[in-house]
Amino acid sequence: MLARVSAGLTDGTIRGDVGHLEQVRTWFGRPLWDMEPSDADAYLGRVLRGSPSGTRLARSQALSTNFLFLELRHKVEIHRMTGRVVECPIDEMNRPRGSKDAQLLGTGPGWQAGLLAHRLGDANVVTVEVDPVVAEAARRRPAAAGLHPLAVAGDAAEGYPSAVPYDRVTVTFGARRIPYAWLRQTRPGGMVLLPWGTHFGNGDALLRLTVHQGGTATGPFLRPVDFMKMRFQRLVWPFHTPDPAFAVDESTTRTALPDLGRFDPFPLAVGLRLHHVTHAVQPRDDGRTLWLCSLSNLSWAGATFHDGQDVAQVRQYGPRRLGNEFEAVFHWWVDNDLPGVECFGLTVDERGRRGWLDSPDNPVA
């Protein structure tokens, strides 16, 4: 149970899963790790035959999660005590099909939709593509291999509400804002997997969100990635007209320029704490200049780092001191032992998103 709390699940979700497991254990009468696929067949096919599809889905998901926990944490111990090798009794033959299994947003040429249809069955895959020509091609290509997932031409930000709820929503483009429709269309306990990032940089990080009762989703980042960005969320660099109310401030800093590559961890940390800011690094013959630019007002900053010198020249303009803010985030990151991408996560609800470090109880901004 503590592991599920650590993963960010709400008390209500955990109580629901425990309740489902207690129902199965009462029927089975033995430790659940003794269950075989034939036992799951009997329980789901006979005992729950007349139950709502949502009940069958919830029980099977609770069982699958329980066995995943046993395999990850106690497989060796159980084998040593009982001689049994723990294996989940829920498989592709008996897993309930009460809803569409997967919604794929961003069809592209149809390759991933075809793979999902082969794995899950045509009737359990919906894929959405904004470009009608690409969507039609995505129908033809899987069909040539005998696969026919439902391919829809539409705005991926809206999902496809006609086939809800989904067990999984997979996004194949980089997002900067997470449409709440994706969470609303995913059943409690289901997952949304997407490349996500901020406008601070062009890189993304793979984010795995678990949807909870009440419409909140929480989850960690898994690793750095780089995807084509969602068509209607791509960065447009601002054009700043000078305002005589502000003057350029000049100063210096001894803070070294951190690595800001698209697969480095620091840009994600900056983006989670330094809101509405983008950056660029300009190479010079004798060093580099870091440019910071606000996306919400006239503020900008430039810091020039010369090769072989410990001191960088900083120029700042506008109502925000972006150079100071950037430096404060860098020191915060260092003070927290240079956390990698996988140490961060997001909580998302109708109001927006909140970043966290190590735990949802430790917000970063």
pLDDT of 118 reads: 85
pTM of structure: 0.73
Lowest mean pLDDT among 87-91, 185-189, 275-279, 343-347: 87-91
More confident call, 260 vs 61: 260
pLDDT at 67: 84
Q: What is the pLDDT of residue 133?
A: 87
Closest CA to 270 of 327, 230, 229: 327
More confident residue, 162 or 339: 339
Res. 72 pLDDT band, cuts 50 70 90: confident
pLDDT at 11 over 70: no
pLDDT of the residue at 12: 62
Position 71 scores a pLDDT of 78
Q: At residue 92, does pLDDT exceed 80? A: no
To the nearest whole number, what is the mean pLDDT of the chain? 89
Lowest mean pLDDT among 21-30, 131-140, 290-299, 325-334: 131-140
Give the pLDDT band of residue 87 (cuts 50, 70, 90): confident
Say if strands 217-225 and 166-171 run parallel, antiparallel, or are unpaired: unpaired
Of 172, 102, 109, which Cα lies nearest the Cα of 142? Answer: 109
Q: What percent of the chain lies above the pLDDT cut of 70?
A: 95
Q: Which of the two residues, 52 and 260, has the higher pLDDT score?
A: 260
pLDDT at 266: 96
The token duo for 12 is 């209500």
Question: Does position 357 have pLDDT exceeding 90, yes or no?
Answer: yes
Task: Tell me what pLDDT residue 86 has.
Answer: 81
For 166-206, how does the pLDDT look when each residue is reduced to its tens digit (9 = 90+)? Answer: 989 999 999 999 999 999 999 888 999 999 999 999 999 99
Q: Tokens 């696969």 — which residue?
A: 147
Local confidence band at 273 (pLDDT 50, 70, 90 cut-offs): very high
% residues pLDDT > 90 (the chain): 61
For 93-124, how does the pLDDT look when each residue is reduced to its tens digit (9 = 90+)?
777 764 457 888 887 888 889 988 888 888 88
Residue 165 has pLDDT above 90, yes or no: no
Structural domains of the chain sorted by starting position, each given as residue range(s) with its CATH number in brackets: 2-82 (no CATH), 102-233+345-357 (3.40.50.150), 249-335 (3.30.160)
- So what's the pLDDT on residue 81? 87
